Copies of this chain bind each other. A is one copy, B any other.
Amino acid sequence: MIVVGGDGTFTGGLIFSKEFNFPVIGVPATIDNDIFGTSHTVGFDSATNTVMEAIDKIRDTASSHNRLFFIEVMGRDAGHIALNTGVAAGAEEILIPEENLGLDRLIQSLKRSQKTGKSSSIVVVAEGDNTGENVFQLKDYVEKHLPDYEARVAVLGHMQRGGSPTCFDRVLASRLGVKAVESIIDGETSSMVGLQNNIIELTPFKKAIKGITKINTELLKVSDIMSI
């Protein structure tokens, strides 16, 4: 049996495999890219492009109307979508669960951005970010402390999960699917196929479920440099 999903799916697959002594191989597919044992999950690349295109469209308005936009994107526990789309769309700030620098720093950074002559700003906020209670409270706080700005909120929501998959995602899904079938044929079980350094490798479910994916700290630095 081949199961497609995330940690919950693989936990179920592990139990099923033991109980029924039946081979189970997992394919990692979540838009959050939050699965240990694969550098990319199926769906992540598509979701980042959907989000980036939405931010591009909002930027068109931001540029022409002198505004501050808070854009909430998916990611309860992982900031991969926020970080990648924030860099890609040139966001002034990216707020993610893995890093909480506090409200004061956000205000300071937006003030600095204003002084450099920027007429508008985009702040990408992952769902699971803890800088504010939520994106609406964040907006109110910033408007209170930066009265010159007119702030707006966009909650992209479930459109991030849909759409036609990108080339990267389709190629990845094909590669993982072929490897999953081959693994079953080879007698493997209770493992997940994943992309590691551009090669498809197996990771035992136990390891994949326990493991924690880390945010690319290089991207955090790139974001800081690019948004000056």
Contact = CB atoms under 8 A, between A and B. Distances in A.
A216 B171 CA distance: 12
Contacts of A58: 157-159, 162
13 contacts: A53-B164, A54-B159, A58-B162, A85-B167, A88-B170, A153-B157, A171-B222, A174-B226, A178-B221, A178-B222, A197-B197, A197-B198, A199-B218
A166 interface: yes
Interface residues of A, number: 55
A170 B56 contact: no
A216 B154 CA distance: 29
A226 B60 contact: no
B39 A170 contact: no
Contacts of A200: 218
Contacts of A56: 162-164
Q: Could you say how many copies of this chain the assembly holds?
A: 4
A171 B88 contact: yes
A101 interface: no
Contacts of A61: 158, 161-162
Given A159-B154, A163-B56, A175-B218, A168 B226 contact: no
Interface in A85-132: 85, 87-89
B60 A163 contact: yes
B171 A84 contact: yes
Contacts of A152: 157-158
A49 interface: yes
Nearest to A176: B222
Contacts of A78: none
B154 A157 contact: yes
A199 to B, nearest CB: 8
Contacts of A49: 49, 166-167
A45 interface: yes
